[in-house]
């Protein structure tokens, strides 16, 4: 288990307080997904499940019922795969029902096979049920059947919860402001991700393939103890950099290309997310440099706005304004600034938002709106700032020297009472730093 028992117990105590005694919440880890024939993708448990239980095995179901006293079994029940020496020899260890209690702090642990019998007992009499529907149709059908049964018990009053709610509303709000230990893991994920980007810039030279830089980046992630990339690594050279989520990474890198790398690692479940864009040969052309500097200016301004006075939308709108002015100055757009923003003309070259919350999910699904308004950035929240400009290679309306260039610059920023702190600051981004770094050489040392 990667979170200590106290951390998990404290998270559950906060959840119970918000749920109240009449409510029950069900969370599921999810099932493995087939990659090819009889081989699955590596399993990663649902982030809310991990956040509240630390349990990483597939198929597990957690039930939280704050109103259940110790005599009634306690509030936390975990249904897990049974111990099975033969299966464990092939596919890895299982905690089993006993381990759910002894290792994960559940008040009761059961084999998954007992879910149909035990779940109605846990739900009986609850006024409110928090359950995410629409993820697994077989589970949804089972639950509807169970709720109908609780409703029509003969000779007894109905015992079904009358309100169904989505658990994400509560948990994702809890996850917005990070604790000190979460910030430490995000900081480490950012440091490792920064080291990997710096190594890729050092190693790059024209003639290499995109996948060679991907390999170096993911080597450093693994070597530093990160468990995985927190999303598919993007290495796009030349016009590939204009595709936002380009993950093929198969092409050669040509002299004169800009290489865009968007990569981050997952450390103890917490994500890093960095983008750097640099000239493959170590020297920006004047046009590449103008485009790069426009994005960097917008990014630095956006980072400076990551404070409790602003909402994420304030940051986005200011970034759009800065980039749109730059697009006019560089001959990409013509018209008045207000008109180009009002008509969203800038979306031709800047089509995504300026950032997202980051945490145990790379796109941490914390609330973006509160009371109908864009959420302010609380101290302790972490977000990315990632403006970009993407000029398609076949865009005949763009100045010829700008066509086929994609630039994005992305850092992870913690809002604090003392101002924004850039967790990814170890990764260079000034033009002079990048030009000194690219191609300076990286020697892969194995201990």
Q: Which residues are catalytic?
A: 38, 245, 262, 273, 352, 356, 363, 386, 390, 408, 410
* Residue in 16, 231, 278, 346 binding ligand GLY, rule: CB under 6 A: 231
CB of 273 to Mn ion, least distance (A): 4
* Residue in 182, 210, 266, 273 binding ligand GLY, rule: CB under 6 A: 273
Q: 410 to 429, contacts with ligand GLY by CB under 6 A?
A: 410
How far apart, in whole angstroms, are the C-alpha atoms of residue 243 and residue 260? 10
Nearer to Mn ion, 35 or 245 (CB): 245
Nearer to Mn ion, 182 or 410 (CB): 410
Cα-based angle 285, 347, 293 (whole degrees, multiple of 5): 30
* Residue in 386, 390, 414, 439 binding ligand GLY, rule: CB under 6 A: 386
* Residue in 182, 191, 212, 273 binding Mn ion, rule: CB under 5 A: 273
| DSSP symbols for 387-411 | -EEEE-TT-TTS-GGGTTEEEE-BE
What are the angstrom distances between the C-alpha of 277 and each of 41, 252, 287, 289, 294? 30, 16, 14, 11, 13
HSE (CB half, 13 Å, CA atoms) of 272? 36
Give the end-to-end CA distance of the chain in Å, rounded to a whole number: 28
Q: 360 to 389, contacts with Mn ion by CB under 5 A?
A: 384
CB of 77 to ligand GLY, least distance (A): 36
Nearer to ligand GLY, 257 or 361 (CB): 361
- Contact call for residues 52 and 12 (beta carbons, < 8 A): yes
x/- map, 327-366, ligand GLY, by CB under 6 A: -----------------------------x----------
CB of 260 to ligand GLY, least distance (A): 11
Cα-based angle 283, 279, 286 (whole degrees, multiple of 5): 55
SS3 content of the chain, % helix, strand, coil (to 5): 40, 20, 45
Strand partners, 263: 274
CB of 315 to ligand GLY, least distance (A): 15
What are the angstrom distances between the C-alpha of 147 and each of 73, 116, 123, 158, 249? 21, 12, 9, 10, 49
CB of 234 to ligand GLY, least distance (A): 6
Confirm or reject binding of residue 266 to Mn ion (CB under 5 A). Answer: no
DSSP letter, residue 375: P
What 3-state DSSP class applies to 212? helix
* Residue in 262, 266, 361, 412 binding Mn ion, rule: CB under 5 A: 262
> 132 touches which of Mn ion, ligand GLY, none (CB within 5 to 8 A by kind)?
none
**97 phi/psi in degrees, rounded to 5:** -65, -40
Confirm or reject binding of residue 262 to ligand GLY (CB under 6 A). Answer: yes
Q: With CB under 6 A, what is the number of residues at the site for ligand GLY?
A: 6
CB of 210 to Mn ion, least distance (A): 16
Residue nearest to ligand GLY (CB): 262
Nearer to ligand GLY, 193 or 325 (CB): 193
What 3-state DSSP class applies to 19? helix
DSSP letter, residue 40: E
Q: Which residues bind Mn ion (CB under 5 A)?
A: 262, 273, 275, 384, 410
Q: Which residues bind ligand GLY (CB under 6 A)?
A: 231, 262, 273, 356, 386, 410
């Amino acid at each position: 288990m990667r979170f200590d028992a106290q951390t998990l117990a404290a998270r559950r105590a906060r959840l119970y307080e918000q749920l109240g005694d009449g409510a029950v919440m069900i969370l599921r880890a999810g099932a493995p997904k087939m990659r090819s024939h009889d081989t699955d993708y590596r399993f990663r448990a649902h982030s809310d499940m991990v956040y509240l239980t630390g349990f990483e095995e597939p198929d597990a179901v957690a039930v939280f019922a704050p109103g259940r006293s110790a005599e009634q079994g306690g509030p936390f029940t975990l249904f897990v795969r049974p111990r099975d020496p033969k299966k464990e020899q092939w596919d890895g260890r299982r905690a089993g029902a006993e381990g759910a209690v002894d290792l994960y702090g559940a008040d009761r642990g059961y084999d998954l096979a007992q879910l149909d019998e035990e779940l109605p007992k846990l739900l009986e009499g609850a006024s409110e049920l928090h359950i995410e529907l629409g993820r697994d149709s077989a589970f949804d059908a089972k639950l509807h059947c169970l709720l109908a049964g609780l409703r029509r018990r003969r000779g007894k009053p109905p015992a079904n919860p009358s309100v169904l709610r989505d658990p994400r509303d509560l948990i994702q709000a809890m996850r917005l402001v990070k604790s000190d230990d979460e910030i430490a893991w995000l900081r480490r994920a950012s440091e490792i991700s920064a080291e990997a980007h710096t190594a890729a810039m050092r190693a790059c030279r024209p003639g290499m393939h995109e996948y060679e830089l991907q390999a170096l980046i993911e080597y450093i992630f693994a070597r530093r103890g990160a468990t995985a990339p927190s999303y598919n690594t993007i290495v796009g050279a030349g016009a590939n950099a204009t595709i936002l989520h380009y993950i093929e990474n198969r092409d050669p890198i040509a002299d004169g290309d800009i290489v865009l790398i968007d990569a981050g690692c997952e450390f103890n479940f917490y994500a890093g997310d960095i983008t750097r864009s640099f000239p493959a040969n170590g020297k920006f052309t004047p046009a590449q440099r103008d485009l790069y500097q426009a994005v960097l200016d917008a990014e630095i301004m956006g980072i400076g706005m990551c404070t409790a006075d602003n909402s994420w939308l304030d940051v986005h709108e200011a970034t759009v304004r800065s980039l749109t002015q730059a697009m006019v100055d560089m001959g990409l757009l013509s018209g008045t600034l207000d008109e180009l923003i009002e008509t969203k003309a800038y979306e031709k070259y800047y089509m995504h938002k300026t950032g997202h919350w980051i945490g145990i999910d790379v796109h941490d699904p914390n609330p973006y709106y509160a009371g109908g308004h864009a959420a302010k950035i609380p101290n302790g929240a972490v977000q990315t700032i990632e403006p970009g400009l993407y000029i398609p290679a076949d865009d005949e309306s763009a100045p010829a020297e700008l066509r086929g260039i994609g630039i994005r610059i992305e850092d992870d920023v913690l809002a604090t009472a003392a101002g924004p702190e850039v967790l990814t600051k170890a990764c260079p981004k000034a033009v002079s730093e990048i030009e000194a770094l690219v191609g300076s050489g990286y020697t892969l040392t194995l201990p």
